[in-house]
Structure 1
Amino acid sequence: MALHFIDESVTAVAGDTIALAGAEAHHAAAVRRVRPGETVTITDGRGAWIEGEVLSVDPSRVEIRVVRRENIARPTPRIQLAQGLAKGDRDELAVQAATELGVDAIVPWQAARSVSRWQGAKAEKGRARWQRIAREAAKQAHRAWIPEVDDVVTTAKLAARTQDADVVVLDPRAELPLTRAEPSHDRDLLIVVGPEGGIAPEELHALISAGARAAQLGDTVLRTSTAGPAALAVLNAVSGRW
């Protein structure tokens, strides 16, 4: 089934007719080539999940009759990813894969060794780009919830998040395996991944001093684009999500 997104304001129920317009209509008609009679799934990215039958197709408007609607609860506790900014598209690859693997929120981190710098207008531009990547990856993965991308944070602000979440820093030198770093049942879990140059010693100290734990993913060193998604796969398995 093809998956498309609609505006959050749409409150369609079974029997109603809704329409995809703009870029979504063009994607459905010209890229996915949906046809009348085909079944599609639609979500607002906030838990609403609609199954519908395509009634008519035009590059500017695709009409769909709602067959069934349900509201899917947000997963709890949430698994979040603090991704260190990296050069090239390494961090963007991490955002894409992490979204496909079920991450619930993404925090851009301006680490000491980040080559990429998000400052001024570039900070909002970068956050918006990550949000678009997450949206498209959620569409590809047929997710009912699109992970939210926060504003870029400093190490100090990242350390402060230990007040509300179990923070686990991925460090290849750590003794604790990630498989034994399960979160509590009433607090979110925030996984921290450094940039390509790794996490600076003073940053690791600041995070640990604030209450974070260090954990390792086996005995190899993964790229910044790989570590977060690999951690999510492990946590999905040990937490029972998979």
Structure 2
Amino acid sequence: MAHFYLVEELASSTVGSDVVVTGPEARHAVTVSRVRPGESLRVGNGRGLVVEGEVREATGDRLVLVAETVTVHPRPARRLVLVQALAKGDRDELAVQAATELGVDEVVPWAAGRSISRWEGPKVAKGIARWQAIVREATKQSIRAYQPEVSGVASTADLVRRAASATVLVLEPTADAALSSVEIDSTGDVEIDSTGDVLIVVGPEGGITPHELEQFRAAGAMAVRLGDSVLRTSTAGPAALAVLSTRLGRW
């Protein structure tokens, strides 16, 4: 079962019904992946619905499969959100790709104070579209039932406002608390609430500024470290997601 395609317009399906894939997804399946009648594949809508079935037709830009199993996957109880600072080169894009494969539910581009890369004017729409494309392809590659959301560019003030209704964990190498020691659903000085989103904030290459750290702390965010080493901005977020996915019982 190596093939998985996203058909966002797929609202529902039943066993025995036809699922029709057209446009770029169908063309990729037929001309690039060379899917042929008789093969099995999966189709999802990125919102929890996954259909598995046998291909009946594969011609040009049209692919038809007969649904053999229809599964609606429940959403996780709590959403994991990666707040990724804009970074130079493709480092932020690498973080977005890996985070999608690891199960992130939302990705937020953050215009941090030390971000070398800047999305301004036409670059905003172009940057978001690029991240959305990365998320979509990573969702297909990892055969995920849910496609993560890519939000608009956030300022530090925007993130501070989100802290009012979410748990915000700021990755900071000098923090006293390790992410692996954060208390979950229990009392203590450091804990993850039982409800609401969990935001993981990752700074750019130069790190998070002292002023930004103070703003986050004042809003109730927690500074945590991953270990004794300092990870790149492209790997810190995915590493934190792996730790939290295990501790929250998602893995």
TM-score class, shorter-chain normalisation, is over 0.9
After TM superposition, the structure 1 = structure 2 runs for residues 71-86 of structure 1, keeping only pairs within 5 Å, are 71-86=72-87
After TM superposition, the structure 1 = structure 2 runs for residues 142-153 of structure 1, keeping only pairs within 5 Å, are 142-153=143-154
**Matched-pair contact (CA < 8 Å) for 2:10–2:44:** no
Q: Following TM superposition, by how much is the alpha carbon of 1:180 offset from its aligned partner in structure 2, in angstroms?
A: 2.3
1:239 corresponds to: 248
2:189 corresponds to: none
Instruction: Give the AA of the match of 1:30.
Output: T
Gaps of 5+ in 1: none
Instruction: Give the AA of the match of 2:211.
Output: E
How far apart, in 1, do the equivalents of 2:153 and 2:76 lie?
Answer: 24
2:174 corresponds to: 173
Please state whether the residue corresponding to 1:179 is helix, strand or coil: helix
Q: Following TM superposition, by how much is the alpha carbon of 1:62 offset from its aligned partner in structure 2, in angstroms?
A: 1.1
**1:209 matched to 2:218:** yes
Gaps of 5+ in 2: 185-191
Q: Following TM superposition, by how much is the alpha carbon of 1:132 offset from its aligned partner in structure 2, in angstroms?
A: 1.1
Please state whether the residue corresponding to 2:163 is helix, strand or coil: helix
After TM superposition, the structure 1 = structure 2 runs for residues 28-107 of structure 1, keeping only pairs within 5 Å, are 28-107=29-108
Q: Following TM superposition, by how much is the alpha carbon of 1:9 offset from its aligned partner in structure 2, in angstroms?
A: 4.4
Please state whether the residue corresponding to 1:230 is helix, strand or coil: helix
How far apart, in 2, do the equivalents of 1:23 and 1:82 lie?
Answer: 30
Q: 2:198 aligns with which of 180, 183, 189?
A: 189
Instruction: Give the AA of the match of 1:71.
Output: V
Q: Following TM superposition, by how much is the alpha carbon of 1:11 offset from its aligned partner in structure 2, in angstroms?
A: 2.5
Please state whether the residue corresponding to 2:177 is helix, strand or coil: coil
Q: 1:228 aligns with which of 226, 233, 237?
A: 237
Instruction: Give the AA of the match of 2:75.
Output: R
**Matched-pair contact (CA < 8 Å) for 1:8–1:46:** no
How far apart, in 2, do the equivalents of 1:35 and 1:72 lie?
Answer: 27
Q: Following TM superposition, by how much is the alpha carbon of 1:111 offset from its aligned partner in structure 2, in angstroms?
A: 0.2
How far apart, in 2, do the equivalents of 1:76 and 1:38 lie?
Answer: 35
Report sequence identity in percent. 52
What's the Cα RMSD here? 1.1
Q: Following TM superposition, by how much is the alpha carbon of 1:10 offset from its aligned partner in structure 2, in angstroms?
A: 3.9
Instruction: Give the AA of the match of 2:167.
Output: D
Q: What is the number of residues matched between the two proteins?
A: 242
Instruction: Give the AA of the match of 1:213.
Output: M
Q: Deviations over 1:170-191 (max 9, x none)?
A: 0000011101224222121100
Q: TM-score, normalised by structure 1?
A: 0.97
Q: TM-score, normalised by structure 2?
A: 0.93
